């Protein structure tokens, strides 16, 4: 693995070997998940979906986010019955992750009671799996999160997409010659995914409901609005629906009065960037913050 990381870092001019190694593992986990029944049942979403499916590799991501597609399966059940149904689905994913973890030499155990590996929330409606590894370029143990929302409001249609590799720009004949055992890394992965518009809605919800501010959410939203012509006024009803759905399970609403564009600091988030942000990002923030405050007022008024 160390030779591979050095080769890829030199070829792609990437300095952060730790994040490069994590991206290799993320892509391989994705490949293996999509070779199972997981592919038909879960939609890819979040920041890693943005980079792999829609916007290109402008930054590193550190986890894989999914939503269970077939929400109609949960209609009409009591909370007790629903919890049992979700438990069975979680067990199935656990089994799939145990197999791929063994294949990739990751530390993961089939034990829902061990919070090192599995964290459940909302009566099994949300789950985080942690797959651990010892990086070849660092000393501290690292983990990759696979997060699943089982109970979600999906407004737009799920779409079939190709998830691209960070390494897809490398000619296949070159990697076959120099790193033949790692040629899988340049392959795209076919999967089901959120539309770009759905990710936009969830990113705004994340800002308003997440405990603590992550500047990557603002960067992601800015780049989405650069990619597609978002009509904020037209989407407002859907944004509010998304937020209210989440607030049923998590009562926390971000206090926007404590954050503003002037004190939004990239900090560690800047280390994730593979490309510099253009100057229009700074122009985007003030008007966007003003819009968020209007949303906050509408949510608090109801």
CB 46 within 8 A of CB 199: yes
What pLDDT shows up at residue 102?
A: 97
pLDDT single digits (tens) 211-266: 766 788 899 999 999 999 888 889 999 999 999 898 876 665 665 544 555 556 56
Same domain? 69 vs 29: yes
**Domain ends where: 153, 179, 194?**
194
Region 204-216 average pLDDT: 82
Same domain? 100 vs 167: yes
For the whole model, what pTM was predicted? 0.92
**Domain ends where: 194, 221, 239?**
194
Region 155-173 average pLDDT: 93
Same domain? 212 vs 201: yes
Q: Is the pLDDT higher at 208 or at 115?
A: 115
Same domain? 187 vs 199: no
Most confident range (mean pLDDT) of 2-11, 117-126, 179-188, 248-257 is 117-126
Same domain? 89 vs 148: yes
Specify the number of domains making up the chain. 2
**Domain ends where: 174, 194, 214?**
194
Same domain? 79 vs 171: yes
Segments forming the whole domain that contains residue 13: 1-194
pLDDT single digits (tens) 259-287: 555 556 566 666 778 888 888 988 898 88
**Phi-psi category of 41—alpha, beta or left, where left has phi over 0 and alpha has psi -120 to 50?**
alpha
pLDDT single digits (tens) 21-44: 999 999 999 999 999 999 999 999
Same domain? 146 vs 223: no
What pLDDT shows up at residue 279?
A: 86
Is a pLDDT exceeding 90 seen at residue 98? yes
Same domain? 190 vs 204: no
Same domain? 165 vs 302: no
Same domain? 130 vs 201: no
Same domain? 168 vs 205: no
What pLDDT shows up at residue 205?
A: 92
Same domain? 174 vs 190: yes
What pLDDT shows up at residue 282?
A: 86
């Amino acid at each position: 693995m160390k030779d591979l990381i050095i080769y890829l870092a030199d070829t792609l001019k990437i300095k952060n070997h730790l994040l490069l190694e994590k991206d290799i593992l993320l892509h391989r986990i994705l490949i293996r998940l999509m070779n199972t029944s997981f592919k038909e049942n879960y939609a890819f979403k979040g920041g890693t979906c943005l980079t792999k499916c829609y916007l290109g590799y402008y930054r590193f991501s550190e986890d894989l986010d999914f939503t269970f597609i077939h929400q109609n399966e949960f209609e009409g059940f009591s909370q007790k019955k629903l919890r049992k149904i979700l438990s069975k689905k979680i067990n199935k994913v656990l089994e799939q992750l145990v197999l791929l973890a063994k294949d990739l030499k990751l530390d993961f155990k089939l034990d829902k009671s061990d919070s090192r590996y599995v964290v459940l929330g909302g009566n099994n409606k949300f789950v985080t799996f942690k797959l651990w590894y010892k990086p070849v370029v660092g000393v501290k143990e690292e983990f990759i999160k696979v997060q699943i929302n089982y109970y979600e409001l999906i407004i737009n249609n799920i779409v079939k997409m190709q998830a691209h590799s960070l390494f897809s720009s490398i000619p296949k004949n070159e990697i076959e010659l120099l790193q033949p055992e790692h040629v899988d890394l340049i392959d795209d992965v076919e999967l089901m995914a959120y539309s770009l518009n759905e990710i936009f809605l969830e990113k705004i919800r994340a800002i308003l409901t997440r405990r603590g501010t992550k500047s990557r959410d603002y960067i992601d939203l800015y780049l989405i609005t650069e990619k597609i012509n978002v009509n904020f006024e037209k989407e407002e009803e859907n944004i509010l629906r998304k937020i209210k759905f989440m607030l049923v399970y998590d009562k926390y609403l971000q206090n926007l009065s404590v954050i503003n564009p002037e004190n939004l600091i990239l900090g560690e988030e800047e280390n994730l960037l593979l490309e510099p942000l253009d100057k229009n990002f700074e122009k985007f923030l003030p008007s966007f913050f003003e819009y968020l405050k209007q949303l906050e007022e509408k949510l608090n008024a109801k």
